[in-house]
Structure 1
């Protein structure tokens, strides 16, 4: 089938939401496989010392990883004919810029303040360790890798791949909500903060969700009695409840709850500001602000 015919067939599915979730899941799985492949190939080539040190190795690994993800997402967006917001921000976008930059700073500061009051170290939330009075070089190097690789990867996956897909099915406002919920599940790390690449367990959970969604939609379509339609939707409701309760059970303190809420809020802010500004720079600012705020608090905490 020619690519144009394939593209047209994607625009008129019987179940658009199931289509988008399926495509997102397949592409995120491809991103995960690409990450594993890059890591395996570089491991065969040599250790970090063979590349001239961990920093150079990180730049090579991150550059190759980001290039592959960029090509995949770019080809997908071209095939689906997404409108990618590449325009610069203007003075009319100042309120959006303020929301994107200030919200992460305020939330991280509030989380740190509550942590001080309740005696919960911020490093226990981010699950990072920094020595007392740490040297500036390694900190800046890690921060640079996060800015050069982590932030662009988040923008490509969250805004173009996920948010762009949902816009095809439910429109702009619905896409903001679904993007926030979906990225809040797959792009949060079990080791603290946002994940650059979805973890395997999160991907498996997303696959289960898509299968249950398909069963629910099929049951609603085929069942002749109303109670059978409700019964078909029961597994997906149970799955959602389990995911929520599992996430809540991992929160051990008020500061931990604020930390988790901060990650979800920033993902929502990124989706909202991208839609309202039609510029990828807006979510980029939100992710950069969160990264800088987290790193600053961790370093200051170690210094104190």
Structure 2
């Protein structure tokens, strides 16, 4: 059962709560391993930048099903890791997996990180793997996170670069537009200059954005990848007739075939590795 009625969120994040504690979160919980596999190529670079030490206390923002939180807890073997998210269903899975994997120093909470009263200067490291781009009021959110970061502590984020540099997003948006206007808006934190201004205004310093390009995995083969992508994006075809929907899926399968390798189906992706320090 969803806990959303008991979750206090900033009004600017109510739409995100409805999505992530609803159908979007349910899909991400169902397909948690596939989503993790998709961005697995970023893992080593991300955690190398985080530099988590054995005694650190780590906050994972937008933790989803908790893969990065559990990884962080393993690095912080004598410390702790707290994962926060708006999705009750993903957090249920996160807790179960932490128990099954025997990770005792990890915990999870369904809260809005933009307004949650974290203990001041509690965390040595704040991390977020593609989870920090959805705040309704980013300055308020990062100011709250900076307050919770100890002096000298660090924040490390992965965010997407502009859409034109992300083959996977542009391809799937075009295919599922099916001849209609293609959404062109970039995700938040895709402009490094704006990200630097935001984090400095929030209370961080020494902001650095490094471009990282990695292949993203979508499935073992065309059938496997098509099933996953249609499950995620197929709702965009719901207002089309059957022939138009079938044509879009055929176009998707043809494109997937061009990206098939002996290791699976991969598309190019481009992210920013964002690092900053709390003075």
TM-score (norm 2): 0.24
TM-score (norm 1): 0.23
The structure whose residues are more often helix, as a share, is: 1
Pick the structure with greater CA Rg: 1
The structure whose residues are more often strand, as a share, is: 2
Higher RCO structure (Cα 8 Å, ≥6 apart): 1
